Structure 1
Amino acid sequence: MHTLGITENMLEPSRTTFHGIVPGLSCSPMGKVRFDVLFGGLDNCLVENILFEVVDLDNPYHALLGRPALGKLMASSHTAYTKMKISAPNGVITVVGNYKVSLDTASAGSCLAESVVIAEEKKRIQTAVVLAQSSQLNLAALSSPLGGMAFKPPKETNDIVMDPSYPERTICIVSGLSEA
Structure 2
Amino acid sequence: MGKVRVDVLFGGRDNCHVESILFEVVDMESPYHTLLGRPALAKFMASTHTAYLKMKIPAPNGPITVVGNYKVSLETASAGSNFAESLVIAEEKRRIQTVVTLAQSSQLNLAAMSRPIGGTTFNPSKETKDIVLDPAHPERTVHIGVGLSEA
* TM-score of the pair, normalised by structure 1: 0.59
User: What count of residue pairs does the alignment treat as equivalent?
Assistant: 112
Q: Which residue of 1 aligns with 2:116?
A: none
Rg: which structure is higher?
1
2:90 to 119, 126, 134: 119
CA distance in 1 between partners of 2:46 and 2:53 (Å): 13
Q: Which moved more, 1:127-136 or 1:72-81?
A: 127-136
Letter of the 1:98 partner, please give it: N
Pairing of 1:125-140 with structure 2 (within 5 A): 125-136=96-107
> Distance in 1 between the 2:57 and 2:103 partners?
58
CA distance in 1, matches of 2:17, 2:80: 30
Q: Which runs of 5+ in 1 are unaligned?
A: 1-29, 151-180
Q: How does 1:14-93 map to 2 (within 5 A)?
A: 30-93=1-64
TM superposition score normalised by structure 2: 0.70
SS at match of 2:74: helix
Quick one: which amino acid aligns to residue 59 of structure 1?
A: S
Structure 2's unaligned 5+ residue stretches are 113-151
Q: Tell me which of 108, 111, 117 is aligned to 1:149.
A: 111
Cα distance in structure 2, aligned partners of 1:85 and 1:132: 58
**Kept in 1: contact 2:17–2:44 (CA 8 A):** no
Aligned residues with identical type, % of pairs: 79
Distance 1:47 1:40 in 2: 9
Show structure 1 runs of 4+ deviating over 4 A.
none
* In structure 2, C-alpha distance between the alignment counterparts of 1:45 and 1:80, rounded to whole Å: 25
Separation in structure 2 between the aligned mates of residue 100 and residue 106 of structure 1, nearest angstrom = 10
Q: CA RMSD in A?
A: 1.4
Q: CA deviation at 1:42?
A: 2.0
CA distance in 2, matches of 1:100, 1:149: 55
Task: State the Cα distance separating 1:53 from its structure 2 match.
Answer: 0.9
